[in-house]
Amino acid sequence: MGHYELPSGAAAYFINLDRVPERAEFMEGQFADTGLRGAQRFSAVDGQQPGALDDNCYVPGTGTRWGLTQSEIACFESHRAVWRVAVDQNLSKVAIFEDDVEMSAQAGAAIAALLADDAGFDLIKLDYSPRSMRFGPLESIADVPVRPMLEMAPSSAAYILTQAACRKLLSWSEQYSDHLDDFISLPRPDWRMCQCFPAVGVQMMWSKQQEQTAEPVKVSERSQDQKTNSGLDKGPLGFRIRRELQAARRKLYWRAGGQDRLLAQGGFAGFIPCAEDLNVKLVT
């Protein structure tokens, strides 16, 4: 294993609640194992703390969903705070991680290369997603194989953003009601997003190594407190019908020849492959 320094003007952060030091220790171990030097802990917004969510940007019905739980808002605001730091510190790129990401031995080299590259991307997702998805033809950024993302992904545990991308996300999220996963991977005209292919990270909840990991790392700590994960409002009937119609339209497109055309052009449909040293539980 080599050692990989963060490029000048770039940064890497893992988001961690102050009251869960076991997860910080886990991530420090992951970065050490990949050889990536310089990753920093970023204190997460804690939805259990009084006043922590005052002045947040969540507005019901302004996104693809209506309601979010307190823990989902806290998660979004934590990532949003990192985007703000990247802009305020004039970082060229930033790698952002949750605090439960198992990383491949290949991750250090891939992350360092992507952070140093000037290719015209907004977001590169590094981790596995627990759902069959569709991607564009294989290409390369900084000699790292990637595929363009064509759909929202159910994971935002590890990704790289440019400074321009951070500015876009901050502007778009001045009002939001999306899960963070959906928000950053929503297809938009001015948003070039790619998936590292194969993925070089996976959240522990999807890893076969879960049972060999400390208890606080196995399951999302944010989901443990019912007070911050209850009372979800799905919105008025009109909003829910409109959302279902949009989802049905997307499915119809792929079933009516869209997927066949994608595959004929070199695209991909299925579960994201992972680096050989990652053992993932497939969800069907």
Q: Quick one: pLDDT at residue 284?
A: 52
Span 4-234 CATH architecture = Alpha-Beta Complex (3.90)
- Give me the mean pLDDT over the 181-191 stretch: 96
pLDDT at 283 over 80: no
Over pLDDT 90: what percentage of the chain? 72
Task: Determine the Cα–Cα distance for residues 97 and 107; give it in Å rounded to an integer.
Answer: 12
CB 131 within 8 A of CB 154: yes
pLDDT at 225 over 60: no
Q: What angle do CA 108, 114, 118 make, to 5 degrees?
A: 155
- Give me the mean pLDDT over the 37-54 stretch: 94
pLDDT at 222 over 70: no
Question: Which of 55 and 158 is assigned the larger pLDDT?
Answer: 158
The band of 95, judged by pLDDT with boundaries at 50, 70 and 90, is: very high
Tokens of 173: 């999220």
**Mean of all residue pLDDT scores within the chain:** 90
- Give me the mean pLDDT over the 34-40 stretch: 95
Q: What angle do CA 241, 246, 251 make, to 5 degrees?
A: 125
pLDDT at 131 over 80: yes
- Of these ranges, 131-135, 216-220, 280-284, the one predicted with the greatest mean pLDDT is 131-135
CB 147 within 8 A of CB 195: yes
Q: Quick one: pLDDT at residue 105?
A: 95
Q: Quick one: pLDDT at residue 254?
A: 85
Q: Quick one: pLDDT at residue 156?
A: 93
Question: Which of 232 and 47 is assigned the larger pLDDT?
Answer: 47
- What is each CA distance from 183 to 28, 89, 155, 173, 188, in whole angstroms? 27, 23, 10, 9, 10
Buried residues in 213-251 as b, exposed as e (16+ CB within 10 A):
eeebbbebbbeeeeebbeeeeebeeeeeeeeeeeeeeee
In Å, the largest CA–CA distance within the chain is: 55
- Give me the mean pLDDT over the 193-221 stretch: 80
Task: Determine the Cα–Cα distance for residues 227 and 225; give it in Å rounded to an integer.
Answer: 5
Question: Which of 21 and 233 is assigned the larger pLDDT?
Answer: 21
Q: Quick one: pLDDT at residue 270?
A: 96
The band of 229, judged by pLDDT with boundaries at 50, 70 and 90, is: low
Q: Is 193 helix (H, G, I), strand (E, B) or coil?
A: strand
Q: Quick one: pLDDT at residue 250?
A: 83
The neighbour count for residue 210, using CB atoms within 10 Å, is 17
- Give me the mean pLDDT over the 28-46 stretch: 96
Closest CA to 30 of 89, 84, 111: 111
pLDDT at 192 over 80: yes
The band of 57, judged by pLDDT with boundaries at 50, 70 and 90, is: very high
Specify the amino acid at residue 24.
Answer: A
Q: Quick one: pLDDT at residue 65?
A: 83
- Give me the mean pLDDT over the 123-149 stretch: 96
- Give me the mean pLDDT over the 103-132 stretch: 94
Over pLDDT 70: what percentage of the chain? 90
